[in-house]
Amino acid sequence: MPEPVSPLDRQDPVGPPLTFDRTEGRIQHRFLRAHGTAAHVALTSGVAPRIIIAFPAGNRGVLLQGRIHNADVALDFDGPLTPLDEETHGIQGVAVTIITDAPELRFAPAVLGNIRTIRDVGYGARLIPRLRRYSIAVTGTASDRALSIERPGLDGRHAYAIQVEPRDGTTVTVDPDGGFTLHPPPTGQVCADIVATCDDPHLTPIPVDRLLRPSARARLTGTDAHRDLNALAFLAYREKLLAGSWQYLTYFGRDTLLALRLLAPAIGTDLFEAGLGAVIDRMAPTGDVAHEESLGEYALMERDRDRNHARQTGTAIPQHVSARGRGRSRTSPLLDYKMVDDDFLLAPVLAHYLLDTPDDEATVSVDGSRIDGASRARAFLGHRTPTGLTYADAIRQNLEAVIERARPYATSQSPRDLIHLRQSAAHSNQGRWGGRVPVGNWRDSSDGLGGGSVPFDVNVALVPAALRDAARLLDTGWFSGATDAQHEPGLTLADDARALASAWKGTDRHFTVTITADQARANLASIGHDRGLPNRFITDALGTISDEPVTFPGIALDADGAPVPVMHGDDSLVLLFGDPSPGTLHQIADRLTAPFPAGLRLPGAGTLVANPVHAGEDLRARFTAGHYHGTVIWSWPQAAYAAGIARQIDRPDLPATTRARLIAAEAILWQGIEASDALRTSEFWTYTIDDEGACIPVPAQGAGIVNESNPVQLWSTVYLAIHPPAR
């Protein structure tokens, strides 16, 4: 086992060590990136304490889940995280010392493996037998005993290991099932060193001083900005940008693209091209953007499940499943293409970088020299994917796919031809293959679209934007050779894309929900009482209802083409990517600023991503303050609203009254953002009502929360580029 080494003992080629902490509710988080090791350690206190050690390298880690104790156990760190000396056998790892005043600390058998395995087990999945083949070694005397837990990787190439070394009189005993218990000395605390190792190749960090443009670095004042930068630095690598820690320590296409677009005013070429390159390198030959990647033995298990399903059902593995992998190894990355929104995000984000980024400090190359925007674009587009395509050719495949997928609706104008969730993809909810995938946009929980299959954001914001920006990109001539037999003779493919974009205007009409004023008032009162809102919340909300019918766009269309009547915040993407009419802008501003339950504003906590006030009881039960995409607050949609409103205010074609309405809405939006500032790098958060009837933002964790929130999330670092307006 390599020895721990102080982060300050030697120079790191990527700059000084990165260390920072977060505390959210009952979870303490500590982060380290130094000397080839990057690690996140999370200590959860409670009756079932938990220790997680997560490594970006290989997206792997350790779960030590405490058994149920008779009383709360308060876990704490006793000193900093310490990287192992990787010069020993090339193994990276981290050592952490934990302490507690509990009379004993009892753990179930350790889970060592891929983070997705750990995540699944944390949400109740059973560990398959192959992943329970641990060897446990106890060394030392009864009073000075250490514990080693090891498991060979399923690929036969990697190994998973931790050591538990009691300190200061603490002792350890091993339970018959492979769990263990730490016992304190007669007088003193439980104290132990935990050492976890990782033999996957480490990722290459982007140096902190290369993440932002000089002007953005100059704006870094105060702890909030440096907190955001620390989070971004931990997630930013030249190979890829990681979606979030600890649960999503690998590539996610949608997260990467949205984060890049929102960070665009602040970041330099290193980060932008690392993110875009990771997306383009993982695209399918069909032009589809990969959503997520499975790594190492998790990829091996996925492939085995595919083969077993094919054998048991007597069916061949569909091409879209068998072709998901990159490389021939059973453990080479396995890519997931089931989402639909990321396919339509690439063109807008790429166009923003190549066509809208000023030729200024963003054009400084790695060696410090300056290059103009066109040269930068040509150099980037000349890179090659792992399959040998130039980036220009790979992007062209995506642009052509976007155009062809948009063509049916442009011709028919029928909602049946809007973009639906995918059919017949792997891991569907109707068997391993076949049926409708229950997810397809950023609301990718099983309840996120309320059972809908035609997402609002994809069809109203992203498809039109993708078509417009596909035309702009094709106009440059950088993607020559793009052809399509179906577009009109004499027209270029760019002309075709522009015509389709025009035909896609007004798709929001298919999503319109209309509620009578009387019914709206009844709905507000009922959900307000059901959710335990103070009377003043309900009174304030009722005050926004006039005698006119209430209209809003549903979150999706269901299988019958009817809108799912859940109010939502996906208008933020309409503001960010589109040019809505003044009337639409007024409606968006009204929903954004109306207090919950009439609208999306939750005074004191932020902007809700969903509001089921006008839905039936079955839908209301799927959109609560404990659901991943329910009446909760996500950081990035608030940022998208802020960036989108600022973009709309700058439009020269808006009436003065519309601009004034947007400026007023912007001020209210920022009140909510600043009210929950302490949580803004988190993935999402929820709320509680205190004894005085005030709404308080709280971390999304613990009882009643379906999905635990990450403390650092890529698209929650975007306030490095988005700031309160100086109006």
Over residues 537-596, the pLDDT tens digits come to: 999 999 999 999 999 999 999 999 999 999 999 999 999 999 999 999 999 999 999 999
- How confident is residue 324, by pLDDT bands cut at 50, 70 and 90? low
- Give Cβ neighbours of residue 229 (< 8 Å, ≥ 6 apart): 208, 211, 212, 220, 717, 720
Q: What is the pLDDT of residue 9?
A: 46
Q: What is the pLDDT of residue 315?
A: 75
Dist CA 341 CA 437 (whole Å): 13
pLDDT digits (tens, 9 = 90+) for 21-79: 999 999 999 999 998 899 999 999 999 999 999 999 999 999 999 999 999 999 999 99
Q: Poorest-confidence range of 96-110, 328-342, 490-504, 661-675?
A: 328-342
Q: Is pLDDT above 70 for 687?
A: yes
- Is the C-alpha dihedral spanning 542, 545, 547, 552 positive or negative? negative
Query: Cα(first)–Cα(last) distance of the chain, in Å?
Result: 58
Give percent of the chain with pLDDT exceeding 90: 77
Q: Is pLDDT above 50 for 431?
A: no
Q: Is pLDDT above 50 for 635?
A: yes
Concatenated DSSP letters for 516-535? Answer: -HHHHHHHHHHHHHHTT--H
Question: What is the rounded average pLDDT of the residues 328-335?
Answer: 80
Q: What is the pLDDT of residue 327?
A: 53
pTM as predicted: 0.94
Q: Is pLDDT above 60 for 360?
A: no
Q: Is pLDDT above 90 for 448?
A: yes
Q: What is the pLDDT of residue 110?
A: 95
- Give the residue from 607, 716, 604, 592 showing the smallest Cα distance to 227: 716
Query: Which residue shows structure tokens 């991503």?
Result: 609
Q: What is the pLDDT of residue 185?
A: 95
Q: What is the pLDDT of residue 709?
A: 95
- Residue 674 CB neighbour total at 10 angstroms: 12
Dist CA 690 CA 697 (whole Å): 10
Contact 628, 445 (CB under 8 A): yes
Q: Which two tokens stand for residue 177?
A: 């099932």
Question: What is the rounded average pLDDT of the residues 704-719?
Answer: 94
Q: Greatest CA separation found in the chain? A: 88
Q: What is the pLDDT of residue 633?
A: 98
pLDDT digits (tens, 9 = 90+) for 114-137: 999 999 998 888 888 888 887 888
Report which secondary-structure segment, H or E, holds 670: helix 656-675
Question: What is the rounded average pLDDT of the residues 295-308?
Answer: 88
Dist CA 437 CA 292 (whole Å): 15
- How confident is residue 326, by pLDDT bands cut at 50, 70 and 90? low
Dist CA 671 CA 81 (whole Å): 36
Strands 105-107 and 180-183: antiparallel
Burial class (CB in 10 A: 0-12, 13-18, 19+), 433: buried
Contact 641, 669 (CB under 8 A): yes
Question: What is the rounded average pLDDT of the residues 183-194?
Answer: 95
Question: What is the rounded average pLDDT of the residues 354-363?
Answer: 70
Give me the chain's average pLDDT, please.
90
- Give the residue from 274, 271, 270, 267 showing the smallest Cα distance to 216: 267
Dist CA 115 CA 109 (whole Å): 16
